[in-house]
């Protein structure tokens, strides 16, 4: 079987790694600050390494599930990175699968530079929530050539119920940014609509009675309002700092394409302000409280 490496055992990565182990793949992991996932996975049979280079030397496929572009670049091209390890192992046929949400321009640059060392770099960002990572029901939005995807499909299928091939390397991250722009855009719109409504005498409950079951209903709406109505903070655990990062990446992509993207900028700025105000660790549905509080309004029960 393919020897798998996994770097980034956070809310999503831990569940994905568990599914790889459960399918019988030999798994190598690398720890960070939080030791719990590493210790639990090694207890189940995974092996631990201390550096990306060491992982590259022993694995055929390495999955990355990291916070953003700076961490990806460091893990891949740093002095003790995956590229160095692959070189030291004699240029082995390594595939790196970036499941993070990153900058498409960086993704394409890494793919070009790594190919010189015989390393294949593709993007497969995720759709879904941590519970779906645990159950193996994520969506993988893949940017890759056909042959690489054919090799990876059985492996990705251990944690993804749906694999969507959207184009060559870089297309996955582009589509993921567009997807997250829609989600974060709705989060911003819901937050402002609730605040305006509350000021005008429309409670969140009344708001929901009109939207739920209508054409404006959606899975994102349901988890967002699970927080708004039930105060269930874990209904949609996606931090505002990540929302800001993703919307910032989208604006940067638009600018690289010489597009104005005024709506994207406005959405980015709302999340940027929340992070600047020290609210970055709160989750996206909590933006509704932040926006309301700026106007002296409370949406809570």
Q: How far apart are CA 264 and CA 70, in angstroms?
A: 22
The alpha carbon of 121 is separated from its chain's Cα centroid by a whole number of angstroms, namely 17
* Chain-centroid distance, C-alpha 56: 22
Q: Token pair for residue 59? A: 């694995």
Closest CA to 234 of 188, 283, 301: 283
Q: How far apart are CA 254 and CA 262, in angstroms?
A: 10
Is the torsion defined by CA of 285, 289, 295, 298 positive or negative?
positive
Question: Which residue do the tokens 């499909």 mark?
Answer: 153
Contact between 160 and 139 (Cβ < 8 Å): yes
In the chain, count H helices and then E strands. Answer: 14, 9
| ∠ Cα 156 160 166 (to 5°) | 80
Q: Active-site residue among 18, 108, 173, 176? A: 176
Q: Which of 16, 22, 131, 113 minimizes the C-alpha distance to 63? A: 16
C-beta of residue 6 within 8 angstroms of C-beta of residue 55: no
Report the distance separating Cα 283 and Cα 239, nearest Å.
4
Report the distance separating Cα 9 and Cα 35, nearest Å: 9
Q: Are 180 and 111 in contact (CB under 8 A)?
A: no
- Specify the residue for token string 């660790």: 281
Q: Is 176 designated active site?
A: yes
Report the alpha-carbon distance of residue 215 to residue 208 in Å, rounded.
13
Active site residues: 176
């Amino acid at each position: 079987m393919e020897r798998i490496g996994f770097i980034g055992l956070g809310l999503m990565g831990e569940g994905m790694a568990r599914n790889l182990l459960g399918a019988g793949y030999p798994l190598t992991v690398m720890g960070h600050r939080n030791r719990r996932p590493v210790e639990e996975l090694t207890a189940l049979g995974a092996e631990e390494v201390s550096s990306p280079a060491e992982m590259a030397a022993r694995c055929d496929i390495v999955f990355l599930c990291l916070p953003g572009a700076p961490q990806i670049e460091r893990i891949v091209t740093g002095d003790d990175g995956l590229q160095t390890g692959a070189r030291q192992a004699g240029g082995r046929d390594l595939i790196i699968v970036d499941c993070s949400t990153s900058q498409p321009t960086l993704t394409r640059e890494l793919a070009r530079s790594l190919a010189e060392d015989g390393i294949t770099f593709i993007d497969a960002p995720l759709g879904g929530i941590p519970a779906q990572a645990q159950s193996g029901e994520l969506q993988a939005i893949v940017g890759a050539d056909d042959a690489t995807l054919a090799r990876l499909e059985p492996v990705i299928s251990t944690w993804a119920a749906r694999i969507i091939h959207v184009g060559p390397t870089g297309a996955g991250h582009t589509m993921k940014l567009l997807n997250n722009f829609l989600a974060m855009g709705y989060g911003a719109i819901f937050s402002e609509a609730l605040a305006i409504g509350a000021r005008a005498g429309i409670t969140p409950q009344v708001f929901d009675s009109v939207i739920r079951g209508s054409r404006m209903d959606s899975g994102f709406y349901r988890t967002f309002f699970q927080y708004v109505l039930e105060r269930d903070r874990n209904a949609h655990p996606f931090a505002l700092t990540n929302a800001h990062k993703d919307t910032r990446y989208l604006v940067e992509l638009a600018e690289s394409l010489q597009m104005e993207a005024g709506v994207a900028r406005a959405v980015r700025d709302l999340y940027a302000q929340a992070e600047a105000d020290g609210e970055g660790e709160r989750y996206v549905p909590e933006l509704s409280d932040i926006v309301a509080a700026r106007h002296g309004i409370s949406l809570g029960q």
